[in-house]
Structure 1
Amino acid sequence: MRRVEFDEQAYAQRSRTGPCFICRMLAGDPEFRHEIVHRDERHVVFLDRYPTLLGKLLVAPVRHREDVIGDFTAEESAEPWQVVHRAGAALQRVVPTERIYLQSLGSKSGNSHVHIHVAALPPGVPYDRQQTAALLWESAGLLEVPAEESTRIAAQLRAALSSGAG
């Protein structure tokens, strides 16, 4: 797969002025369509539309919450991380993985809906292109994943998640 440049300014503008992309995706808005891998009454797992690594997932609560700590009780905060663990384990079974990276990004200024990035670093990536460099559009470029490949990966992830392992 090839890497392409990403219009980060246009993305930032949409993130800061547009509707919540997760809420719009969950409402079925075709403009905010993502390949959903898993959804239950509390959480959704879906492929990132702007990945820098193959199979990169986002895990989010279905209910719009903006503070990854403050909007959850201690008991509630364990639930999304259990889903993250299952999603990461499924990702390891589907794509070659040296390490799983996890991040909670967003802010009240943009992409405010809590979501956790789950990304698989493939084996053999030189050290200077690992860690944050592997996740940044500026250094890694956007991975252009053909639609049929995304569909295939999503199906494999669904199967891995439904197997209950992890």
Structure 2
Amino acid sequence: MEYIKRSRESGCFLCRSFRSRADRENGVVLRGRTCAVVLNRYPYTGGHLMVAPRRHVATLQELRPTELTELMRLTVRSVDRLQKALQPHGFNIGLNLGAAAGAGLKDHVHLHIVPRWTGDTNFMPVLGKTLVTPISLEALWDLLHGRGRKRRR
């Protein structure tokens, strides 16, 4: 939970993460030529990933055909890695385009991949306004890179 205590840096965290080569520290899971995959620092559930273009653009319409293609290719690779590492029962995959749609980062378009398990919803998000994520970002990064033990539910 050290990432919560850290002071917030200005600018786009995705752009900062993609410029850096410290992939584990920045939660970069996969890199492509035009897009990359990062761990969500404020996950809906353990294993929540974001796929984004390396170029800072706000809308899908601004993406080049090569970026759109790689966005989907990295999404497929990410789902495969998550399936092998965490063995979820399903996935939610989608985009929140604009603040009205729930985008917390509205200036750098990105796609969410959220692993799901049967019965994984509970009272915590509703009553406690708290999400329970039973895996640290560091442990998840290691699992997605073939280190550590697979999780079973």
Structure 2 distance, partners of 1:21, 1:137, is 28
Could you say if the C-alpha distance between residues 56 and 110 of structure 1 is closer, same or farther in structure 2, counting changes exceeding 3 Å?
A: closer
Q: Deviations over 1:105-156 (max 9, x none)?
A: 2538962111111010123335xx5xxx99x78876233566xx32222122
Structure 1 counterpart of 2:86, from 87, 90, 95: 95
Residue of structure 1 in register with 2:120 after alignment: 125
Structure 2 distance, partners of 1:97, 1:140, is 23
Identity of aligned residues (%): 24
Unaligned runs of 5+ in 2: 148-153
Residue of structure 2 in register with 1:142 after alignment: 131
Q: 1:155 corresponds to which letter in structure 2?
A: D
3-state SS, counterpart of residue 86 of structure 1: helix
The structure carrying a bigger strand percent of its residues is: 1
TM-score after normalising by structure 2? 0.69
Structure 2 distance, partners of 1:155, 1:114, is 26
Contact kept, 8 Å, 1:51 with 1:143, in 2: the verdict is: no
Contact kept, 8 Å, 1:34 with 1:49, in 2: the verdict is: no
Q: CA deviation at 1:54?
A: 0.7
Structure 1 counterpart of 2:76, from 73, 85, 89: 85
1:40 corresponds to 2:29: no
Could you say if the C-alpha distance between residues 36 and 71 of structure 1 is closer, same or farther in structure 2, counting changes exceeding 3 Å?
A: same
Greater relative contact order (Cα < 8 A, sep 6+): 1
1:153 corresponds to 2:136: no
Structure 2 distance, partners of 1:100, 1:93, is 13
Q: CA deviation at 1:66?
A: 1.4
- The root-mean-square deviation of aligned C-alpha atoms, in Å, is 3.5
Contact kept, 8 Å, 1:46 with 1:58, in 2: the verdict is: yes
> Within 5 A, what are the aligned runs for 1:39-78?
39-68=31-60, 70-74=61-65, 76-78=67-69
Unaligned runs of 5+ in 1: 1-5, 7-13, 161-166
Residue of structure 2 in register with 1:10 after alignment: none
Contact kept, 8 Å, 1:57 with 1:118, in 2: the verdict is: yes
